[in-house]
Amino acid sequence: MLEINGIGKVYRVGVLGNTRVNAVREVSFALGPGEVVSVIGESGSGKTTLGRMILRLTPASTGTITFAGKDIAALRGRALKNYYREVQGVFQDPFSSYNPVFKADRVFAMIRAGYFPGLSGAAWRTRVTEALAAVRLTPEAVLDKYPHQLSGGQLQRMLIARALLLDIRVLVADEIISMLDASTRIDVLNLLGDLKERGLAIVFITHDLALGNYISDRTLILRRGDVVECGATGAVFGNPVHPYTRRLLSSVPRLHKKWGQVAAELTEPPGRCPVHANGSAAALVEVAPEHQVACLAAGADQPCPDGVTAGHADR
Amino acid sequence: MGLQVTGLKVYYRTLRGDVRAVDDVTFGVEDGEIMGLAGESGSGKSTLGKSLIRMDSRMRHVAGRVDLDHKELPIADDEDMREFRFKEVSLIPQYAMSALNPTRRIGRMIEELLRSRGIPFDDVRSELNRRLELVGLDPEVLTRYPIELSGGMRQRTVMVLATLLDPSLLIADEITSALDVSTQRAVAEALVGFRDRGFVDSLIVITHDISLVYQIADTIMVMYAGKLAEKAPTEVLVNTPRHPYTQALLSALPEVGVRYEGKRLAGIPGSPPSLRNPPAGCRFAARCPLAFGKCAEEPPFVEIEPGHFAACWKAS
């Protein structure tokens, strides 16, 4: 349904814009109905840029994104609006998505004005009630209230309901959990799970490995714009190959297991570099079914176990 | 020795009445103890941390006392506290950004700070360099402006600065929440190093992330709606929690390896009560699966086994 092919983003930075930074490089994946892909990375990994390119908020520098067979970069006018009927995003900070001067349900009214101008009041109210029910909110609890009268979890769920008012097929969820408290976090995650069962495809962008692991079918680990490891979530988390993935996993604070213990379990040396051991030209090599790994170099200027330095000239 | 807080009440004054953010809190932190203080937003954990060092203008000390190493801290008196701040009690705020003056080189800022406390910079200079190296920073950072350092570097600089005079008590307020996981680990482990080397005697690590304090703390205290819910040694609290709120909070945490299809975790229904007019009795009762008649009466925070405190009628 949604296909991302070798997508990249180059930002020009510096006073004269003559320094180039590759925010995202050569990322490819496909997303079908009811699938959840989690994009995991630390700050500066390009995970948010990737989400913004899918939402067409940022144009891609290289590569293509196709949705239902059409290149989204070419969409204009009505076709673009139709794209947004099916692909929507929800972002990290629910408070900044609302204008504090207006009531929170204005986000619904704007969808009505923009996409359903012909719908009758009664039909619209049914639609809103259904969307709110899908995110487990009641109209009495949230409608006709100002943003400051609602909790972060309620506001975040209203934004998901807003996306559901349109018949969306893909949701880009960028760090939507990280601002929420532990007791409401899991409810929003379970909600995404329910939506997935109804056939919604989700790009779940997060820095939190535990959250990504809980909800997704497939996982992409990004490091400074490059995919270092990807594949089925169970394979990536159960048998991490890349030293970067291992370092992330051993740094996540866990309950019932101390850092030292986790690190000790991941100590066996990584072995040969799957990319350079066979002289492969591809950036990612399959090490097991549904499990791909990039060159094992610990950084751009460090050699991999097979002595090859990746050395991207632009970093 | 150590910290002893007795019956502390700190309210926020608002036009519509007092917000009881810290409401009758009694606990102790031993010498050499790292205590994790966990709770959700609005539980009063940051207010409790702040009240031990500096009340802002909206905060009001209503009752209770705080003793540090058998001396009473004059927490209600901003002027009198001046003698204790930085020397006896120190704080690392959540955003290191807000602690570093953006218009000064870091070294100069530290120099000015020390001068304001009557301490010549040269007396501590070698110790400062040694400690910067200890947390993995080149002493050259002293010649830089805060904007030139990454978030993790700034956070570590502030840690070194806050503990430079070997305070008896250090309060770390959400210091790792804005950092990446690998930096988070380095910062958290540096805190333990500070305690092990004796730079600080006791530490209160305030966080919303119980799994983070599980990694580094000796004891964990959980707050809910301005009250203490439970305090116990780390392993005890995580493995055999007795307060229903702690139990629900721990079971709502997704761990690496837990999957939605395999094990669906449950959140806690409802939301915390308003602290402006909190309900009588146990404040968790409305959300508690075990609530019964007696919960209309407030449960005391009592020791149910050595070192394990809980405020729940069903726990004792």
Q: How far is CA B143 from the centre of its chain?
A: 31
The CATH number covering residue B247 comes to: 3.40.50.300
Length of chain B: 316
Type of residue found at A223: R
A168 vs B69: CA distance, rounded Å:
61
Question: DSSP E strands: which ranges in A53-106?
Answer: 62-67, 70-71, 87-90
Q: Is residue B112 part of a domain?
A: yes
Measured between alpha carbons, how far is A8 from A299 in angstroms, rounded to an integer?
A: 19
Which residues of B touch chain A, with CB atoms under 8 Å apart? 40-41, 151, 180-182, 184-185, 188-189, 208-212, 214-215, 238-239, 248-250, 252-260, 264-268, 271
Contact list, A234 vs chain B (CB under 8 Å): 259
Q: How far is B191 from B188, CA to CA, in rounded Å?
A: 5
Give dist(CA A93, CA B289) in Å, integer. Answer: 31
Residue B259 located in a structural domain: no
- Of residues A42, A184, A186, nearest to B265 (C-beta): A186
How distant is the Cα of A71 from the closest Cα of chain B, in angstroms?
Answer: 33
Give domain status of residue A312, yes or no: no
- Confirm whether B315 is domain-assigned: no
The answer to whether position B249 is within a domain reads yes
Q: What is the pLDDT of residues A119-132, one digit of tens each?
A: 898 999 999 998 88
pLDDT above 90 coverage of chain A, percent: 34
Query: Is A305 contained in some domain?
Result: no
CA–CA min distance B76, chain A (Å): 31
Q: How far apart are CA B94 and CA B103, in angstroms?
A: 20
For residues A253 and B215, is the Cβ–Cβ distance under 8 A? yes
With an 8 Å Cβ cutoff, the interface of chain A facing chain B consists of 42-43, 151-152, 181-187, 189-190, 193, 207, 209-211, 213-215, 233-234, 237, 247-249, 251-256, 258-259
**Closest to A206 (Cα-Cα) out of A25, A60, A43:** A43
Q: Looking at the domain assignment, is residue A311 inside a domain?
A: no
Best B181, B192, B287 member to test A by mutation, with max A CBs in 10 Å, is B181
Distance between CA atoms of B156 and B172, rounded to whole angstroms?
12
How close is the nearest chain A Cα to the Cα of B206, in Å? Answer: 14
Nearest CA in chain B to A152: B41
Does residue A114 register a pLDDT over 60?
Answer: yes
Does B55 fall in a domain? yes
Tell how strand B34-38 and strand B219-224 pair up.
parallel
Q: Containing domain of residue B161, as a range?
A: 3-254+264-310
Mutate to test the interface with B, among A42, A178, A186, A223 (most CBs of B within 10 A): A186
Of B180, B238, B268, the CB nearest to A43: B180
User: Which member of B41, B208, B254 has the closest CB to residue A189?
Assistant: B254
CA angle A253, A254, A258 (to 5 degrees): 85
Lowest mean pLDDT: which of A227-231, A300-304, B187-191?
A300-304
* Cβ neighbours, 10 Å, residue B220: 26
Domain that holds residue A102: 2-297
Interatomic CA distance for residues B65 and B4, integer angstroms: 8
Q: How many domains does chain B have?
A: 1
Q: What phi and psi, each to the nearest 5 degrees, are found at residue A66? A: -115, 140
Round to whole Å and give the CA distance between B129 and B141: 10
In a 3-state reduction of DSSP, which class is residue B229?
strand
Q: CATH number of the domain at A269, please.
A: 3.40.50.300
Using the predicted structure, report yes or no on whether residue A85 has a pLDDT greater than 50.
yes
Q: Rounded to 5 degrees, what angle do the CA atoms B266, B268, B274 make?
A: 165
Whether A18 is covered by a domain: the verdict is yes
Mark yes or no for CB contact A251/B185 under 8 Å. yes
Sorted by sequence, the CB contacts under 8 Å of residue B232 that are 6+ apart come out as B219, B220, B241, B242, B307, B308, B309, B310
Point out the least confidently predicted range of A62-66, A304-308, B278-282: A304-308
Query: Structural domain tally of chain A?
Result: 1
What predicted TM-score, i.e. pTM, was given to this entire model?
0.86
Average pLDDT over residues A196-214: 90
Around Cβ A190, how many Cβ atoms within 10 Å?
18
- Per residue of chain B (316 residues), what is the pLDDT tens digit? 789 999 999 999 888 888 999 999 999 999 999 999 998 888 899 899 999 998 888 899 999 999 999 999 999 888 999 889 988 999 998 777 678 888 999 999 999 989 988 889 998 999 999 999 988 899 999 999 988 888 888 888 999 999 999 999 999 998 887 788 888 888 899 999 999 999 999 999 999 889 999 999 999 999 999 999 999 999 999 999 999 999 999 988 887 777 877 778 888 887 788 888 888 999 999 999 999 999 999 999 999 999 999 999 998 7
Question: Quick one: CA torsion of A242, A248, A251, A254, rounded to 10 degrees?
Answer: -110
Q: Could you count the other beta carbons within 10 Å of the beta carbon of residue A58?
A: 17
Average pLDDT over residues A156-182: 87
Give the torsion through C-alpha atoms of B5, B7, B11, B17, to 10 deg: 180
In a domain, A231, yes or no: yes
List the one residue out of B49, B92, B64, B48 whose CA is nearest residue B7: B64
Q: Which residues in chain A touch residue B229, judged by CB atoms under 8 angstroms apart?
A: none
Q: Is the ipTM of this complex over 0.90?
A: no
